Structure 1
């Protein structure tokens, strides 16, 4: 064990304090006073203490001021804080040290000292070690073999809701307010679906093709639309500025095949009476489209139903003040079960989960992309539950 008792960097200690990743229910200063954290403060990126504008209650008295953190309490003097007026407003010195010692400021005050070491879970130490050493694809996977399925699914449900909100915002990027609402909504729905059919390598190319097709085609004749789209895309007509990426594409993802499918779906959208989108049966329209010989419900289209069609209907409910449509589309999203390719969720394999329903929850994709990949671990119920258990 290292001298400080905390085997990790001071930056990690700051992260732990900022996110309250410790047992803060019965904190005491090194001299025995009770501490209640009212506000851990705001991270300071300038000179002076690590956190500003903190609020604490110590033995019933409220303190407002700065917080300084060190892995070893001796670093206070080593870093010359005792002679630096920038640290005169420190009300609490937080350390993770076996042998914490009192400190003084330049103006002669003596901030309280809180030794966090006894309040840090062993599980947190294991997590941090894995995080630093990258011993697993997810830092929590190998550490928390006792992982709480309840906490995991609480997090997945949160991610699932956030993903819906993200997809509604993505849809708005293609909504042109200069058009009539019905026309703007249909156009946005079509372009968003083309975008989804371009995943992973040809999203921009598919969007560009869709936008140009819609300027020249009214959706009445599928064969004409297909011919026009392939010409615009440059297949058989090389005079185009649209660039396609064919590298590592599976046959089903070839742009020519996706364009044919996109045109068929676009025709269905353009030919659908608009009042049907606002009706009670709006959610069943998708299944009706895919009940024809022209459109086959593949796994890609099952995902697009959730990530494009349902958010589009939710926004349509907003546009036309239909709470019933908003409620129905949001409820459908919450209950949605969509088979997700195992390759997208392989990082969850190391979790020993009895309940495998995350494999059909689109929020699982958002969890990996928006929480796990950028290491937003402090915001995740999985880490918090494991540390507090």
Structure 2
């Protein structure tokens, strides 16, 4: 299984026999400059210098696994590819014509790539293990692992920060409303994240802040969520339902959420959407200025305790409307609060640091990750089995990103670890 990323790597470093290169139609090829790797739209390598039959050509190089991928990738008729002077493929399976109807010079790499390099590459990408390089992982230099870990951590924070920026853009740069929606999404903890975001969009923070009573906040949030419709014989649900009927008309609340959209099955009771909405309402009610709370906290212990606010009295004895549970404190757990700090607050700080060009905010985000303990999940256990020394959430966040974005997708030739092993 050959991937384009591998061929990009081979072409960039010229890891093939450079002697007596010929195109598929018999023309001599001499590579003077492979060009620079283009990661944007257009040909893969730009500003290359190639000699064909002794004549110097300057332009772009496009790389594919098969020649026919040119058409499969819809390059035919695309003016961005008019200056391609060489088409580099692993397997030549058909002739490709340029805009003038002339064959594009094509170099086939099959049989030219150094055997050891190709063998090491195939060993990794064709591995049946979740982490392709697992069997060779012990050979990787510590500095390479650390470098890739830092890269994937930053990439993860930036990617999540970009999601926050989309919310910010939709709110016309209103940081308070955006933080409220972002926090709501975080309270959904993956299974109900999108529903919580929709809920916060349907019930803006400014609407909630018009009321001092937490019960009215719950009426608005539970009413818009559609979860009030689950019970007809619960006194508190009926009370909230009557309150919501009035508030819905007053504020013209528009919500398409229904009970069936929320995930209860397979979710721990402490993570039921009803419990999370109650906790969310209590937190925002106690600290309505969320943005300043998250950007100006003094220490992590205090912030964690703030996130562990207890919900209203009703939710101390219920997990759902009309479903009593043993009386207990339904405050958010320590681990859940830490999860919010890692996955919600840290990316918010990264986005704000970029917006304000404020290095202090970035330091705050990194401090959260370096201070909080190791997250325990099946991904982290895989890395620990391979001998990776995991010390904090800084490590776990980078390793989760590495596993999801590189290992599972077999993007080994975009990973510094994979590149080192293939180069050997």
Same fold (TM over 0.5): yes
Question: Could you tell me how far 1:291 is from its partner in structure 2?
Answer: 7.1
**Pairing partner for 1:95 from 100, 109, 112:** 109
Normalising by the residue count of structure 2, what TM-score does the alignment of the two structures yield?
0.64
| Deviation at residue 362 of structure 1 after TM alignment | 1.3
Structure 1 unaligned blocks of 5 or more: 1-7, 44-49, 98-114
Q: Secondary structure at the match of 1:246?
A: coil
Provide the TM-score with structure 1 as the length reference. Answer: 0.69
Q: Does 1:217 align with 2:208?
A: yes
Note the alpha carbon deviations across 1:344-383, whole angstroms, 9 max, x for none.
Answer: 4455466x22423477431222223322333322211111
User: 2:151, 2:372 → 1: CA distance?
Assistant: 16
- Measured at CA, do residues 338 and 244 of structure 1 come closer, stay the same or move farther in structure 2, by a change above 3 Å? same
CA shift in 2, pair 1:275/1:174, >3 Å: closer
Matches of 2:7 and 2:154, distance apart in 1: 28
Per the alignment, residue 78 of structure 2 pairs with: none
RMSD, aligned CA:
4.3
Q: Is the 8 A contact 1:337 1:361 kept in 2?
A: no
Shift of 1:331: 4.0
Distance (whole Å) between structure 2 residues aligned to residue 358 and residue 20 of structure 1: 36
User: C-alpha separation between the residues in 2 aligned to 1:354 and 1:315?
Assistant: 29
Picking from 278, 298, 302, the partner of 1:260 is: 278
Partner of 2:149: 156
> Across the two proteins, how many residue pairs are aligned to each other?
339
d(CA) in 2 for partners of 1:306, 1:194: 15
Q: Which residue of 2 aligns with 1:197?
A: 187
Q: Offset of 1:216 from its aligned partner?
A: 3.8
Distance, in Å, in 2 between the alignment partners of 1:358 and 1:373 is: 23
Distance 1:63 1:118, change over 3 A: farther
Q: In 2, Cα distance between the equivalents of 1:174 and 1:33?
A: 51
Q: Structure 2 CA distance, aligned partners of 1:117 and 1:15?
A: 16
Q: In 2, Cα distance between the equivalents of 1:252 and 1:167?
A: 25
Q: CA deviation at 1:324?
A: 5.7
Q: Which of 339, 355, 358 in structure 2 is aligned with 1:303? A: 339
Cα distance in 2 between the residues matched to 1:63 and 1:334: 51
Q: Contact conserved, 2:160 with 2:347, CA < 8 A, in 1?
A: yes
Query: Which of 199, 222, 227 pairs up with 1:230?
Result: 222
Separation (CA, whole Å) in 2 of partners of 1:290 and 1:66 = 58
Is 2:262 the partner of 1:244? yes
Change (3 A) 1:373 1:228: same
1:355 aligns with 389
Match of 1:69 among 89, 107, 111: 89
Alignment match, 1:111: none
Contact 1:209 1:229 in 2 (8 A): yes
SS at match of 2:10: coil
2:300 aligned with 1:286, yes or no?
A: no
- The answer as to whether partners of 1:22 and 1:388 remain within 8 angstroms in 2 is no
CA deviation after TM superposition for structure 1 residue 88, in Å: 5.2
1:66 partner SS: strand
| Aligned-residue offset at 1:163 | 1.3
1:20 is displaced (CA, Å) by: 2.8
